[in-house]
Structure 1
Amino acid sequence: MNIKKSIYDRGLGAYLALAFSLMTVVLTLILVEVIGVFATQQVKSNIGNGLAELALQTSDKLDRGMYERFREVRLMSLRSDLTSSQVDVAEKRQVLDERQQTYGYYAWIGLTDINGKVLVSTRKMLEGADVSQRPWFRNALQGKNVGDVHEAVLLAKLLPDTNNEPKRFVDVAFPYANRDGQPLGVLGVHLSWQWAREVEQSIMQPLATRRQVEALIVNDSGTILLGPTSLRDTQISMEPYGIASDLSSGFRVLKWSDGREYLVGFSKSQGYADYPGLGWTVLVRQNIDDAYAPVKRIQRRVLWSGIALALLFSLLGWVVARRIAQPMRALADSAQKVQLREATEIAVLDASYSEVHQLTASLNALVDNLLHKEAALKELNQSLEQRVQQRTRELEDALASVRANEARIRTIIETAQDAFVGVDLNGSITDWNSRAEQMFGWTSKEAIGRPLIQLVVPERFRNSYAGAMNIFHRTGEINLLNQRLERLVVNRDGKEFPVEVTIGLAGEKDTAFFSAFLHDISERKKVEQMKNEFISTVSHELRTPLTAIRASLSMLVDGMAGELPADVQGLLDISYKSCERLVRLVNDVLDIEKIESGNMEFHIRKQPLLPVVRHAMETIDAYARQYRVNVQLDADIEMDVPVDHDRMIQVLHNLLSNAIKFSPPEATVQLLIRQMNDRVRLSVIDHGAGIPAKFRNRIFQKFAQADSTDSRQKGGTGLGLSICKSIVEEHGGTISFESEAGQGTVFHVDLPMAV
């Protein structure tokens, strides 16, 4: 009993010493096993690399052989005795026949013209035939000089049948040209596939009987070109077999279509010199049992040695483990009782080593801590359940609110007077209200999900629509948003009609979409057209009598009827000025109508700017003297600009007349010309009262005048600045102004410089 107690008092250290001794033995056994495994892997690697080397030799020999044919055919295409039109056909055929005899695998050699007609060939086969649709002919003209293996088409019945197998060829073809480099035709060669079979046999035949090795040649599309008869012409895929496209050679263990496993060495054709190769892959396979027979013998020896040692040390370990585990099992039984609620603490074992006593105390402390935490966890769980219920109710309320808002928005859209169309970022329709159904004739069910461009965009505008969408996808920007635009659309019947559309972008990221409200403005356009036609007709009808009246009044004012009484002369002056004003009004109305209808003609050409400016100043000189105002030109540069001479004089005349009209007597109106980067700026400066602030935002609108008092005192139609703006914009320029009350006004015309 004392001895037993002494052992227990010694503690876990004694048992660990014994355990370390056992571990040393076990590690020795593991080391032996690892050495055996590495030896096995090395042997397998050597066997696999041997097959890969055979595949590499075969692939290299195929590439070198094809390179010789590739180089030889290219040199033949450069021979003048074959390509020259001065050489007789019989002599060319003799050259081709001699070349065929030098290499027995040349099945056919032929020379065609540029249209694919065979001019001369070996043994006169296919002479006169049209081969323009054959791949080797077309590819040669496109720079592809080598064609993959294929069965004979035109030559199948012309060549002798020696082995009762389909005739197969590899094509090599080069275009030939005259001295100027102009292609005259193609020199084509059909190389018998029997050549590749003999290359394979020359390498594999010495090993086939001893190692039972088979070779296969696979093209880049996965078709077996050469190999066992049962596999020939079948299709395989390299990727599932683990032969990655970026590996040129190696080996794999593969399960073949016959259900058997093979060790396969592979090598991909890389070409040779300037021969690009055809992408062939050479596979050399050997049955896995035959290939790894030496490996299995090594594995069996290592296995039996390991089993013997493992049994021996397992017996010793079991005896020792039971001794060590006995107190731990008693401790586990006590802990299980606590788990089953049969006890509240782990019993302390008297007959045990000191570490077990310490572990028992720690476990009891842990059990007590867990019991307290379990109670706290139950309380927390109840609190969490209450919070989850509260959150669930809040989410349900929020969801109900969202659904109510969605229903309200849909009701607003459906009852809107305008058509509403929603389009996702891919251009497909997502929303289509009832007004859209009436406008375009497509029901919501028919429209949603279809591309917008197919339903409403006229054919001639679809390219610009697609271009705008592409720009948006690249940059995330589009310049059509939040503006009222006029566009032409088409309905289901193919009828085009104008609409006023406002486009917006709603949502974010994946939920973003375009929203578009469309209003049919067909009737408004008809009214505008009638108005323009009416204005044009009335203006033309007024112009003829006004011209006659103006001429008559001009003669009377100039004294053509003799001296008139002063009161009559005063009335004539008033009538003449009123007639002049009416003529200007009619001319301005006609110009506005031409601009809006796009019928105003512009003759823009590159010309010096200063003569145009001086001409405009000459035309305004009399008008300036009438108002006792000086006009001063300040130009520090002289340059050419692309302008319409008459239209630019019209712009300057209008701006100068306005400046003169609103300047006080004895004032000076300045006309400045300055260069602003790549533009020319013309500035007309007056020192009048300035433009009222409330009028500035509509100064370029038609019939816009500061107030009726100005109209009576200064005259004018209110159309001049609108016409000026349209003319300047047609020149690719801009017009702007600066004004300060009581200080005067500056109008700027910016024009592009001549390139």
Structure 2
Amino acid sequence: MPFIPLKLKKYLSMRGVGLYLALTFSALSLLLTCILVEVIEIAATNSVETRIGNGLAERATQTSDAFDRGLFERYREVRLMANREDMVTISDNLHDNRVQRRRQLETLQTTYPYYAWIGMTDANGKVIVAAHGLLEGMDASRLPWFNNALSGINLGDVHEATLLAKLLPADKYPINEPVRIIDIAFPYLDKAGKTAGVLAAHLSWHWADDIKRSMFTARDQSNIDSVIVNKDGKVLLGPAELEGKTINLPSLKLAQKSAAGYTVETWPDNQRYLVGFSRSTGYQSYPGMGWTILVRQSETAALLPLKKIQLKVLWSGAAAAILFSLVGLIVARNIILPLRALAKSAQRIQNGEIVNIPAPSSNSNYFEVQALTASLNALVGNLFKKESALKELNLTLEKRVELRTAELGEALTKVTVSENRIQSILESAQAAFVGVDSRGNFSDWNTQAEKMFGWTRQEVLGKQMSRTIVPLRFQAIIDKTIAQVYQARSADRSRTATDTGNTNAMKFLNHRMERLVLDRENNEFPVEITISLVDDRDNYFFSAFLHDISDRKQIERMKNDFISTVSHELRTPLTSIRGSIGLLVGGVAGELPAQAKSLLEIASKNCARLVRLINDVLDIEKIESGNMRFEMVNQPLLSLAQQAVEATQGYAATFNVRLIMSVASHERTVQISGDRDRLIQVLINLLSNAIKYSPTGGTVTLQLDQHKEAGKDWVRISVIDHGSGISKEFRPRIFQKFAMGDSADSRKKGGTGLGLSISKHLVEQHGGRIDFFSATGHPTKFFIDLPSIAALSV
């Protein structure tokens, strides 16, 4: 670059701070310019639009007023002509009068040449006289202006005059252009005050062009358009591409509301315009035509001066950016020269030379350079001291490395031995063992797992567990559970593996469960599985022991089938026996001896007990086989409770126990969804147990309450007795099958030990839960929580 001065070449060759400062000054200048341009655009655009829009609105108002005043003059002129006394003497028999009136009409047409036609009709609509004789003798009775004039409508909107166009002079009305007119018509009266006919004038639409030219200069017409729109939205006057077309613009709607104003909108040509609008409201006695005057200017043309100002500001900013860049280069030179001297000294130190960095010259004697020089000299001194200490430390480093290597080798040996021992234990285990990492992939697989599933260890390691041994319908829930465990563990790493803050995600751990799995042949079979979480704080994995329980399940099915068959076979003869004994006790065979009757009553009670036992066994069989059906119906809870109390009143009387219902008034309308018979069965079970274990003369209370839990409405049904309570040892297994209290009193009370187990299943199938509160020697409270769906209207 031979044309660039030497000093400028030097500045351009600078790197680092100097170049960045120059670029920063230039960038800031450009940024300031852009901001200024944007501010001008935002601040000035609204102001310019408002000013121009108000000006256009004023133009529209003035144009509307000019049209209203112009039509008012024609409206008044024709009305005065119709009211002139000398006009009523016209008669078909008075030739001279007709000639005279024709001259008067022609004089009026000459005075205001925009009258395309002026004439008079008789009462029947026949044109009896007209300027220049045009259309004389024509029947106008069917024309709108004649009938409207008789009805009091004196003005007609702009329309084409097809018949009249053929008769008008071609010098004023070219044949190739349509003749558009406005009808002005008034009835005139004879001397008797009756309607003698209609005086009508057709005002040429050229009148509107003349007004438009008078309102807008040649300069205005080059960039401003005026548009006249009738009340139906049709363009009467405006750009050629719009005339005769119907438009629907926001400005028209605004004109109907506010009469005058401006807006910015997009027209059918897809261009945006500033539009001033004004609605015709008439003038004095002239009622107005309902026209809307729109004066528009292209938004681009309106804002052109503002764009020129923005362009000037932009060019000025670019020039300022160049100037600031040159200033930045000069300032940067004075800054970087002492820094370069420091950099050279630092480079010599890096090469191993012992250098004492000289103090800065007086030309660059500013605080930062002095502080940096002093810091570097101190750093060099410390560096050489530490270098000596490092050499001394290296002499002993090899011995330390040998010692640590030996310790690591010993630890590795222990880990290897421990791993081999664990692997040997897993291989000798009778159960299948599976390890799954935090991403759900297999990380371990023993020999028993190979036998159970058919895959070798090498085939499954690294594969996704849920896509290998889990049936398709369970894969999504398994993946979700693994993800929840990961989120829970990540949420609080300070907790233990089984206390990660998410109980739901961990509830399956360390519990024996039954699940269905798939073998290599895609066959499903049941297993008993126990899963644990092994967590070393840096990583974790799931360990699972599995037992194939296919044989056990088969035996259980056989047992259930046997119990079901035997129960069904026993219930039929028992029903017959119970019925026969009932008939004998009822006296169907005559009066029985007291001893025989007593024996039959004992037999009847034991038959009833045996039937209840068989029904309970059948219910358990249905529960375990999944064949129990429920008919869920919306119903009031109070009637269920009342029916259960009524069903157990007789049983309570045999124990001399009183049943009480405690229901608040607002609880009587509670409604639930459930199987009526099954819910009554649960309540009868609870009431019977409470009666059975209540003291003679005691009370059993059935209570209804409502409460909220987790944002949902629940209803609680409580059965409270005043017996001796439930022993602490029996409470954990009270809802198990065939579970009965161990005391002699419990055995004496009788029962199958199935009622509470059945009740628990029925309640859970309704989306509820069953539990109790009890302490030895204190009243016992069994309760059922069911979701409440609504309250019945009282």
Q: TM-score, normalised by structure 2?
A: 0.48
Counterpart of 2:11, as a letter, is V
Q: How far off its partner does 1:30 sit?
A: 6.8
Cα contact 2:663–2:703 (8 A) shared by 1: yes
Deviation per residue, 1:559-613 (Å, 9 max, x gap):
3333322222222222111111111100100011111111111111111111111
1:447 to 436, 460, 478: 460
Which residue is 1:749 aligned to? Answer: 784
2:429 to 410, 416, 423: 416
Q: 1:747 to 1:33 in 2, by over 3 A?
A: same
How do 1:414-563 and structure 2 match up within 5 A? 414-476=427-489, 478=505, 479-508=507-536, 511-563=539-591
1:702 counterpart SS class: coil
Q: Distance in 1 between matches of 2:457 and 2:418?
A: 21
1:588 to 607, 610, 616: 616
Which residue is 1:606 aligned to? Answer: 634
Q: How far off its partner does 1:443 sit?
A: 1.0
2:615 counterpart SS class: helix
2:11 to 34, 45, 48: 34
Q: 1:393 to 1:35 in 2, by over 3 A?
A: closer
2:688 to 657, 662, 669: 657
Percent pairwise identity: 53
Q: How far off its partner does 1:740 sit?
A: 1.6
Q: 1:35 to 1:370 in 2, by over 3 A?
A: closer
Number of residue-to-residue matches in the alignment: 414
Q: How far off its partner does 1:489 sit?
A: 1.1
1:722 and 2:726 aligned: no
Which residue is 1:689 aligned to? Answer: 724
How do 1:246-645 and structure 2 match up within 5 A? 384-476=397-489, 478=505, 479-508=507-536, 511-636=539-664, 637-638=667-668, 639-645=670-676
Q: How far off its partner does 1:382 sit?
A: 5.6
Q: Distance in 2 between matches of 1:444 and 1:372?
A: 56
1:707 and 2:742 aligned: yes
Deviation per residue, 1:209-250 (Å, 9 max, x gap):
xxxxxxxxxxxxxxxxxxxxxxxxxxxxxxxxxxxxxxxxxx
Q: How far off its partner does 1:556 sit?
A: 2.1
2:729 counterpart SS class: helix
Deviation per residue, 1:68-123 (Å, 9 max, x gap):
xxxxxxxxxxxxxxxxxxxxxxxxxxxxxxxxxxxxxxxxxxxxxxxxxxxxxxxx
Q: Distance in 2 between matches of 1:426 and 1:612?
A: 50
1:668 and 2:699 aligned: yes
Cα contact 2:741–2:747 (8 A) shared by 1: no
Which residue is 2:34 aligned to? Answer: none
Q: How far off its partner does 1:387 sit?
A: 4.2
Q: How far off its partner does 1:398 sit?
A: 1.7
How do 1:129-278 and structure 2 match up within 5 A? none
Q: How far off its partner does 1:388 sit?
A: 3.9
Counterpart of 1:719, as a letter, is L
Q: 1:447 to 1:699 in 2, by over 3 A?
A: same
Q: Distance in 2 between matches of 1:412 and 1:712?
A: 47
1:575 counterpart SS class: helix
Q: How far off its partner does 1:403 sit?
A: 1.3
Q: 1:580 to 1:392 in 2, by over 3 A?
A: same
Counterpart of 2:546, as a letter, is L
1:648 and 2:683 aligned: no
Q: Distance in 1 between matches of 2:659 and 2:418?
A: 66
Q: 1:641 to 1:371 in 2, by over 3 A?
A: closer
Q: 1:641 to 1:382 in 2, by over 3 A?
A: same
Q: 1:561 to 1:744 in 2, by over 3 A?
A: farther
Counterpart of 1:676, as a letter, is H
Q: Distance in 1 between matches of 2:460 and 2:533?
A: 20
Q: How far off its partner does 1:456 sit?
A: 1.1
1:740 counterpart SS class: coil
Counterpart of 2:750, as a letter, is G
Q: Distance in 2 between matches of 1:517 and 1:36?
A: 74
1:694 counterpart SS class: coil
2:424 counterpart SS class: helix
- Tell which structure's C-alpha radius of gyration is larger: 2
Counterpart of 1:673, as a letter, is L
Counterpart of 2:407, as a letter, is E
Deviation per residue, 1:639-662 (Å, 9 max, x gap):
111121111110111101111111
Q: 1:711 to 1:543 in 2, by over 3 A?
A: farther
Q: 1:372 to 1:591 in 2, by over 3 A?
A: closer
Q: Distance in 1 between matches of 2:386 and 2:456?
A: 68
Q: How far off its partner does 1:496 sit?
A: 1.3
Counterpart of 1:627, as a letter, is F
1:717 counterpart SS class: coil
Q: Distance in 2 between matches of 1:723 and 1:549?
A: 26
Q: 1:421 to 1:371 in 2, by over 3 A?
A: closer
Counterpart of 2:701, as a letter, is Q
1:623 counterpart SS class: helix
Q: Distance in 2 between matches of 1:490 and 1:373?
A: 67
1:652 counterpart SS class: helix
2:780 counterpart SS class: strand
How do 1:1-80 and structure 2 match up within 5 A? 33-34=10-11
1:546 counterpart SS class: helix
Q: Distance in 2 between matches of 1:511 and 1:671?
A: 54
1:493 counterpart SS class: coil
1:723 counterpart SS class: helix
Q: Distance in 2 between matches of 1:490 and 1:566?
A: 67
Q: Distance in 2 between matches of 1:730 and 1:671?
A: 22
Cα contact 2:648–2:687 (8 A) shared by 1: yes
Deviation per residue, 1:692-716 (Å, 9 max, x gap):
1100000000000012624541110
Cα contact 2:526–2:549 (8 A) shared by 1: yes
Q: How far off its partner does 1:468 sit?
A: 3.3
Q: How far off its partner does 1:528 sit?
A: 0.6
Deviation per residue, 1:491-532 (Å, 9 max, x gap):
111211111112222235663222221111100100110010
